[in-house]
Chains A and B, each alone.
Chain A
Amino acid sequence: MELPQLLKACAKHQLMAQKQLFDLYARQMYILCRRYMRSNETAEEAMMNGFYKFFTSLHKFTYASEAATTAWIKKMMVNECLALLRKKEHLMMVSEVEAEEIADHPVVLDDLQAEEIYLLVTRLPIGYRTVFNLYAIEGLGHKEIATLLNITEGTSKSQLSKARQWLQKMILEQNKETHAGR
């Protein structure tokens, strides 16, 4: 079944179609949710909530393209992750004054494989990880992040800087361990 037909069937609450759509996106969405959440269980919970909201609000959605559909599902998943983080992890950001500006070293991450980056991102503290995910991976601007997380743009920027600094530190330590091992 093509995606538009599948979405129509899902909008009519046909369980088979919903299962098909779930199978189509589940893996991708779980990977996304796991980047935000601390554990597999909470990631799965966020994904389920996201799919549930997606299926129940499908009548509001007008199909434009596959990319638009994927983007919409992703957006719902991200929102669910943030909601769950607020609820379970008590997501709080370090204030703008406390955070210090750190010079960017973006080149460091380019040398890493996707899996390595993923692992590093999931090891970040919740606050850094959330902003880093939203900015570097979802592609949101600081203004949007500030609105989404109810923080100032400055806090968003400083959180991102700290996340990068933390990542660089982790990569350097890994490199040292690798060289020492040789």
Chain B
Amino acid sequence: MQEGRSIQTKMAQLKKLPPGFGADPEGAWEQLEHRLAGRKKVYTGWWRWAAVLLTVAALGAWFFSVKDDAPVVENKPLPRPAEFVNGEKALVIKTNTIAQPSRAVQATTARAVLPQRTDSMIVVVESSPDTTIIIEPVVTIPALPTVTTPKKLKVVHLNELYDFQQEKRESFGNAGVPSTALETPGKNNVFPYFGNRKNKQPNNN
């Protein structure tokens, strides 16, 4: 190792290169500087990632809002249940929606839920041919021409319906019967028009 130490010392002392071994430190630095400047450390803090994600989300939202090629579907008016009967706005209620157990309730509910009910509004009850007429007095009009099956439509003024129910209730002497009983179908139901189906007469119209 004597030789090694000797050569090491000599090499460490070597400050001048032999001819032909010249370097170009400036040129080397320029290249190195280019590399260093081109690949500077990118700080990857969580907030940077969050910012990137937010940017991507915003761009995505913008892109899909602007570049949506799907055809614009116009809001077509839904087929309204309301019809015009004799020039008056009406509501068509099928008899099976006025369910057997609680016709009275449905009838009053139908009245209640009419959002734009006016005093002149007409409720149209659509009944099948074998269904008993359950609301009287009614005006019978022919079935709509577009309906293939012949149907009879019963029309009654809503306010009249309500009054009619009240009138019938009084005439059948249900005073003292709890109001809930009126809404409950069965043998205790004393309101024949909206109660037990067995009491109904077949519709011969």
Contacts and interface: CB of A to CB of B under 8 A. Distances in A.
A and B held together in a complex: yes
Given A43-B23, A117-B10, A136-B7, A106 B2 contact: yes
Contacts of B25: 22-23, 26-27, 30
Nearest to B13: A114
Interface string A98-122: 0000001011011001110111001
B72 interface: no
Given A18-B36, A22-B32, A31-B17, A106 B3 contact: yes
B18 A115 contact: yes
A44 B28 contact: yes
Given A106-B3, A115-B14, A118-B18, A15 B37 contact: yes
Interface stretch (A47-55, A89-97, A150-158): A47-55
B23 A119 contact: no
| A interface bracket (residues with beta carbon within 8 Å of B) | 35 or more
B23 A109 contact: no
B7 A119 contact: no
Q: Say whether chain A's binding surface is mostly helix, strand, loop, or mixed.
A: helix
A139 B8 contact: yes
B23 A15 contact: no
B11 interface: yes
B36 A55 contact: yes
B28 A26 contact: yes
B41 A13 contact: yes
B22 A40 contact: yes
B6 A109 contact: yes
Interface string B20-40: 011111011101110111011
B16 interface: yes
A43 to B, nearest CB: 7
A137 interface: yes
A143 interface: no
28 contacts: A13-B36, A13-B40, A13-B41, A15-B33, A22-B25, A22-B32, A26-B23, A27-B23, A27-B25, A30-B23, A30-B25, A34-B21, A35-B11, A40-B23, A43-B23, A47-B23, A48-B32, A48-B35, A56-B41, A110-B6, A114-B10, A114-B11, A114-B14, A115-B16, A118-B11, A118-B18, A136-B4, A136-B8
